[in-house]
Amino acid sequence: MASKDDKNDEKPKTGSDEKQEEHSPDHSDSLMDKIAHFFSDKLHLTSQTSDEEDSGRQVLNHVTIQGVIDAWKRGLFKNIVTMVGAGISTSAGIPDFRSPTSGLYSNLQKYNLPYPEAIFEIDYFRENPQPFFKLAKELYPGTFKPTPSHYFVKILQDKGLLLRHYSQNIDTLERIAGIDDEKLVEAHGTFYTNHCIDCQKEYAMEWMKDEIFKDSVPTCPECNGLVKPDIVFFGENLPERFYVLPHRDFKQCDLLIIMGTSLTVQPFASLVDFVSDNCVRLLINRDKVGKTTSGFLRGVFFGEGLCFDLPGNRRDVAYEGDCDDGCLFLADQLGFGDALREMVKTEHERIDKESGKTNSDQKESKEEESSKDSLDDRPEEEQSKEKLLKESDGKDSDVKSSI
């Protein structure tokens, strides 16, 4: 950055000078640098350099999943950070966003949206909040149970190994699994708290749940504004914790576990680059994602991504498969597989008991809901005919009973 005296010595630019500079080869690079610095300043982060870190030290004897397990057994990982996305919740029945047939965006046609992403846009929400609250009823916490992946993170916490858990998910399953508030960074917000979008009055989760399940649009009694769960919509800032804590966490992290995320949504995805050069990075995902980007994207997002299969890679390892399978495999290899399975079993039983539901009750409820949805999807003319037939049958039965 130029000093104050340097700025005073600068000559004012003419219009032709500015135009020439705009089309110069270095202009786009300069713009990318400015954008990169903006994100870096906002997150209070700077990527590690060889001057700051001993980049020659290799933690893994073998850059494989077995190498990670061996290093873990040697006690080399004491400050684990986890980064997760929708993939850790799909086995609970919660859709991810982008799968071609089962993803959330591919199943929003029934809400008559101008485009799928509109359901999470704050401006559209102000104009038409009904689609969001209909979707919220389907996805509302309490309907789903945490997965083995969630409980794997819980065990890391119980063992004193979890430094922080960064989640893109809004389903609150981490909280249900017992991960402490202090350990959580819900980067894209949560259903756990709710605020009026006008006067900012806070409302409890139970209040919001009652409103949503009454099929009403929650409004603030104080100002009549819309009340929204504190999930981050397009056009809103991420939670303050996301901007404050990475500065501390990623410097200390010695093992970064990334699960169930496409690593395409920024600035969350760029966090993988702000651990030290000696930090091992383990991806548990169906596909290898987050790989080294092009020069253009690297300029924008100030990071090189994960370096699988590249010459010189000495710390990035991928387990390609379902998140739950990967977590169970790791737990088995590290000696707490049985404890993880027992935790899943007992916690699911506890949740069922507290909610007053048995497994059979849940199955019947889902079947009834599915049957109702399929009936409601029929043409209106067909539904009207059925209604008339029912009314006719009712009248016939009344006549028979009177006879």
Closest CA to 183 of 156, 165, 159: 165
Closest CA to 267 of 335, 372, 188, 334: 188
CATH architecture of the domain with residue range 1-10+36-95+145-187+243-403: 3-Layer(aba) Sandwich (3.40)
403 residues of the chain, pLDDT tens digit each: 444 444 444 444 444 444 444 444 444 445 444 444 555 555 555 444 434 444 557 889 999 999 999 999 999 999 999 999 999 999 998 866 555 554 455 557 677 888 888 888 999 999 999 999 988 887 776 678 999 999 999 999 999 999 999 999 988 999 999 999 999 999 999 888 999 999 999 999 999 999 999 988 999 999 999 999 999 998 788 999 999 999 999 999 999 999 999 998 888 999 999 899 999 999 999 999 987 654 444 444 446 789 988 888 999 999 999 999 999 999 999 999 999 999 999 999 999 998 775 444 444 544 555 454 444 555 555 555 555 555 555 444 443 333 3
The answer to whether the annotation marks 335 as part of a ligand binding site is: no
**Cα dihedral sign, 283-289-293-298:** negative
**Whole-Å CA distances, 175 to 153, 171, 191, 196, 220:** 11, 9, 11, 23, 26
How many Cα neighbours within 13 Å face the side chain of 60? 22
The answer to whether the annotation marks 169 as part of a ligand binding site is: yes
62 annotated active-site: no
Q: Return the bridge partners of 80, or none.
A: 162, 255
Dist CA 31 CA 81 (whole Å): 32
Annotated domain spans of the chain: 1-10+36-95+145-187+243-403
The answer to whether the annotation marks 24 as part of a ligand binding site is: no
The answer to whether the annotation marks 249 as part of a ligand binding site is: no
The answer to whether the annotation marks 261 as part of a ligand binding site is: yes
Closest CA to 284 of 14, 107, 109, 80: 80
- Catalytic choice (188, 195, 247, 348): 188
Residues in the chain: 403
Q: Return the bridge partners of 375, or none.
A: none
pTM > 0.75: yes or no = no
The answer to whether the annotation marks 171 as part of a ligand binding site is: yes
Q: Which residue has the tokens 């997760």?
A: 84
SS3 assignment for 47-84:
CCCCCCCCCCCCCCCCCCHHHHHHHHHCCCCCCEEEEE
Eight-state DSSP code of residue 146: -
Dist CA 130 CA 120 (whole Å): 12
The answer to whether the annotation marks 220 as part of a ligand binding site is: yes
The answer to whether the annotation marks 327 as part of a ligand binding site is: no
Dist CA 247 CA 42 (whole Å): 10
